[in-house]
Amino acid sequence: MSGHSKWANIRVRKTAQDAKRGKIYTRHARLVEMAARGGADPEMNPGLRTAIDNAKADGVPNANIERAIKKGSGELKGEQIAVETYAAYGPGNVAMVIECLTDNKNRTLSNVRSALERRGGRWTESGSVLWMFKQKGVVIGTKPGLAGSEEMELQLIDAGAEDIEWSPDHVEVVTDAAQWPAVRDVLKSAGCDISTAGLKFVPTQKVAVSDLATAQHLMNLIEAVEEDEDVSEVHTNAEIADEIAAQL
């Protein structure tokens, strides 16, 4: 069971993009804030516990996390954060799903649309794109020298893994929407650092990108959209050929 989900494929240069620490802190604070609406105690609220774990893994200061919990639980007043999902087409007719966390929908809509169209993207109705994706659990664990043992693979399958992709230092596991916490726990108990854990829009209909110019144009478009503070994640159905990805 070593399918090639390609979920991480388009995120080749995501690490460089994520060097913008302030953007990461804002995103995590908003996710914690939203989760805290279900209760301010992480022991009683698994969604909040996950959001806090993810924030800490990315180095978000405790003070930021505590402030976000207070905002979400209503202890601190402020505009409510809402999830907005937009859709677009990029170079090579690649479909894009753009997830946003915002306290001002009009601002976000205007800024995201402007960033898209400036870089050659094409705005569209979300229904015309979302059918090409399915929400799945995605967990990525990293550990130096990680190698997939048959025993570990069986543990992951028992926990709900549908697709497992090994590489020398990390493993990417796709599950159905409900199973990702169990898979995360298996990887944590195996000593992995968890870099991603949660629901993602995983493409079911993929578009091959086999020339460097299109791939570069697409990456530039994604980076421009992700620069907006309200954008939490951009998902695409691009399947970039390995030899092209290596040049990005």
pLDDT digits (tens, 9 = 90+) for 200-220: 899 999 999 989 999 999 999
pLDDT class for 199, splitting at 50, 70, 90?
A: confident
Please tell me the total number of residues recorded for the chain in this structure: 248
Q: Which helix (H) or strand (E) holds 139?
A: strand 133-142
- Asked whether residue 11 carries a pLDDT value surpassing 70, the answer given is no
pLDDT above 70 covers a percentage of the chain that reads 91
Q: What per-residue confidence (pLDDT) applies to 242?
A: 79
- Asked whether residue 9 carries a pLDDT value surpassing 80, the answer given is no
- Asked whether residue 123 carries a pLDDT value surpassing 50, the answer given is yes
149-165: b (≥16 Cβ within 10 Å) or e: eeebbebbeebbbbbbb
Q: Beta-carbon neighbour count of residue 193 at 10 Å?
A: 13
Q: What per-residue confidence (pLDDT) applies to 20?
A: 67
pLDDT class for 7, splitting at 50, 70, 90?
A: very low
Q: For the chain, how are helix, strand and coil distributed in percent, rounded to 5?
A: 45, 25, 30
49-85: b (≥16 Cβ within 10 Å) or e: ebbbebbeeeebeeeebebbbbbbbeeeeeeebeebe
Q: How far is CA 107 from CA 27, 98, 102, 112, 114, in A?
A: 16, 15, 9, 9, 11
pTM value is 0.80
Residue 138 contacts by C-beta under 8 Å, 6 or more apart in sequence? 7, 172, 173, 174, 175, 180, 196, 197, 198, 199, 200, 202
Q: What per-residue confidence (pLDDT) applies to 18?
A: 53
Across-strand partners of 90? 94
How far is Cα 142 from Cα 79, in angstroms, rounded to an integer? 36
How far is Cα 29 from Cα 37, in angstroms, rounded to an integer? 13
How far is Cα 233 from Cα 235, in angstroms, rounded to an integer? 7
Q: Per-residue pLDDT tens for 22-59?
A: 788 888 999 999 999 989 999 999 889 989 988 888 88
For the chain, the farthest-separated pair of C-alpha atoms sits apart, in whole angstroms, at 52
- Asked whether residue 245 carries a pLDDT value surpassing 60, the answer given is yes
User: Average pLDDT in the 117-127 region?
Assistant: 92
- Asked whether residue 196 carries a pLDDT value surpassing 60, the answer given is yes
pLDDT above 90 covers a percentage of the chain that reads 53
Structure tokens at 12: 């080749």
How far is Cα 27 from Cα 57, in angstroms, rounded to an integer? 13
How far is Cα 212 from Cα 218, in angstroms, rounded to an integer? 10
**DSSP-based three-state secondary structure for 20:** coil
**DSSP-based three-state secondary structure for 215:** helix
Instruction: Map out the domains of the chain with their CATH numbers.
Output: 21-73 (1.10.10.200), 81-132+205-245 (3.30.70.980), 133-203 (3.30.70.980)
User: Average pLDDT in the 106-110 region?
Assistant: 95
Amino acid code (one letter) for 193: D
Average predicted confidence (pLDDT) for the chain: 86
| Residue among 97, 101, 99, 93 nearest 130 (CA) | 97
